[in-house]
Structure 1
Amino acid sequence: MVVPLIVGIDGSESSLDAVDWAADEALRHEVPLHILHAAAADHEAPGIVAAASERARRSASAVRLSSEVLHEDAAPALVGSGRNAFALVLGFRGLGDLAGMLLGSVSLAVAAHADCPVIVVRGGVEHRHGRFGRVVVGVEDGEGSGTAVDFACREAHVRRCRLVAVHAWSVPAGNPGPPGRLSGYALRALDRAPAQVLADALRDSTQRYQDVQVSSEVVHGPARQALLEAASEADLLVVGARRRHGHVGLQLGLVNHAVLHHAPCPVAVVPQI
């Protein structure tokens, strides 16, 4: 059985943009699309689902489509459904969120707890509809990026576009050399040279997706700034999230929070396996 791509809706314009994006994504990956509306009590749910289903059919008529209404709180319902999903797709702000919020509370909660990739659909039309031909993935030192890199390579493969892998690094504390340059002491303080971090993270995935053109960018500076700048000309930004030992959910961290709140394009949060 092929697991579906699930899109969560609440009737907001943001969730309808997510339906458009999810329909295109399901078509690219040849998976079913499941529209899910979850709310503890909502008498308008059947109409909301019908409108979203019609929108999905207009966007991608060939996609196998199903829908469901769950009378539960949205965040736990979506997280539960995500245990058997290709991915979860959400709008960046829902009906119940304060107008000044940059990211809806449901979207943030789901991104922090889901077992599958969560895509928060942000940005204008040019970013949501593949006009840049670039998928950007953030690579960190350690084991947190492997699944995210594989996800990003697969996205670039099905989109037939370029993958841009970005690794940002900072001079270790106590580096005695000039600003922006690494002394021998600082080089020894780094576990691996920044370029090697990227090469190691990309090796296995790029061997699986040999048709994908890959660009590597090593940036000296804050990861948040580097990823947001790279995302300015991207169709999708992919970041990884580590498991929190002894806690339920993922370690989103400050960088992931920043891109979820401020990225100009859709953001995929991919849990580490």
Structure 2
Amino acid sequence: MSAVDLPLVVGVDGSEPSLRAVDWAADEAAMRGVPLRLVYASLWERYEGTSLAQDVVGSPSEQVRAEDIVAAAARRAARRQAGVKITTDVLAEEPEYALVRASRDASALVMGTRGRSGMVEMLLGSVSLTVAAYAHCPVVVLRGSHDNQARSATHGRIVVGVGDKAAGSAAVRFALREAELRGVELEAVRAWRCPAHETTDHPLLAGEPARLHEERAVETLQEALTDAPEHVRLRPHAVEGHPRRVLLAASHGADLLVVGARRHPEHLGLQLGRVAHGVLHHAACPVVVVPEQP
């Protein structure tokens, strides 16, 4: 199967946030012309509990089989986008392992925000964090809506965070493709800071270190966007501040926030940097984490 034929995979568990992810992914699959694969890992509730949506059961007290959950999700996707090919899988294993493995044969993997009880939509669940950290394809985590309704792209703007290694960035390539596909503007953001030890008290030299750091940030943006298609509208933006704070501010009024996460196979622990971890928890729009090579 070629890359253009790979399905869009959605992790479902019967909750309202996961069904919102189904809605969003159905729209994406229709736009991309790819199949939609709905995956339910039956041990999900062991980790975060399952608050089932009314689309799945008549009352919350009913016992529902895994097959009922994926069938309800498939019906919902078909109602939303009748022309999309839909397949379902029920896997009797831990969700993070099942979804990371499914990511090997996916164009992207979509998840709703999953938190415990009152923490839903505030902090990300452990499954979402683990999948975003180890997946082999871009992972979309739907943030920015608190009423469990999928939002169409209305802002006409995608934001991508540009890191230190701008040349060949998978996150930038992904963001450029998304902007081209949607016909929207791409805002490429590079945060910069002037270390305290580089400042000077001399009034004629006070701005020099800051200016040099800003110029380097602008050069990094130019390098990152060298191969951008001519018809994609670009907005390079060098901003002074901490990268996480800068990107969180940029997420307001954006349809997507794209960040890269470098994979270090020799390192133990979550393969997410502080910036990706922070925006996954607090961004005001859907976040895409794109694997980067070390």
What is aligned with 2:118? 99
What is aligned with 1:51? 72
Equivalent pair of 2:24/2:150 in contact (CA under 8 Å): no
Equivalent pair of 2:194/2:209 in contact (CA under 8 Å): no
2:7 partner letter: P
What is aligned with 2:142? 121
What is aligned with 2:231? 211
C-alpha root-mean-square deviation of aligned residues, in Å? 2.6
Q: TM-score when scaled to structure 1?
A: 0.89
Alpha-carbon distance between aligned partners in 2 of 1:196 and 1:143, rounded to the nearest angstrom: 10
Alpha-carbon distance between aligned partners in 1 of 2:88 and 2:18, rounded to the nearest angstrom: 14
What is aligned with 1:183? 208
Equivalent pair of 1:242/1:250 in contact (CA under 8 Å): no
What is aligned with 2:86? 65
1:22 partner letter: A
Equivalent pair of 1:135/1:234 in contact (CA under 8 Å): yes
Alpha-carbon distance between aligned partners in 2 of 1:184 and 1:259, rounded to the nearest angstrom: 28
Alpha-carbon distance between aligned partners in 2 of 1:63 and 1:134, rounded to the nearest angstrom: 25
Cα displacement (A) at 1:177: 3.4
Alpha-carbon distance between aligned partners in 1 of 2:126 and 2:20, rounded to the nearest angstrom: 18
1:266 partner letter: P
What is aligned with 1:33? 36
1:149 to 169, 172, 178: 172
Cα displacement (A) at 1:184: 5.2
Answer yes or no: is 1:196 the counterpart of 2:199. Answer: no
Equivalent pair of 1:121/1:128 in contact (CA under 8 Å): no
Cα displacement (A) at 1:251: 3.5
Give structure 1 stretches of 5+ with no counterpart: none
Report SS of the residue matched to 1:177.
coil
Report SS of the residue matched to 2:10.
strand
Q: Give the direction of change, closer, same or farther, for the CA distance of 1:144–1:199 in structure 2 (3 Å limit).
A: closer
Q: Give the direction of change, closer, same or farther, for the CA distance of 1:117–1:249 in structure 2 (3 Å limit).
A: farther
Cα displacement (A) at 1:226: 1.0
Cα displacement (A) at 1:223: 1.0
What is aligned with 1:89? 110
Deviates more, 1:111-120 or 1:52-61: 52-61
Cα displacement (A) at 1:41: 8.1
Deviations 1:233-267 (A, max 9, x none): 00100000111251267631111111000011110
Report SS of the residue matched to 2:277.
helix
Deviations 1:71-93 (A, max 9, x none): 11100000011111101100111
Cα displacement (A) at 1:212: 1.1
Deviates more, 1:58-67 or 1:212-221: 58-67
Report SS of the residue matched to 2:253.
coil
Equivalent pair of 2:130/2:270 in contact (CA under 8 Å): no
Give structure 2 stretches of 5+ with no counterpart: 46-63
Equivalent pair of 2:161/2:259 in contact (CA under 8 Å): yes
Deviations 1:163-214 (A, max 9, x none): 11111010034112379x6425983xx597110010101112x1xx322101
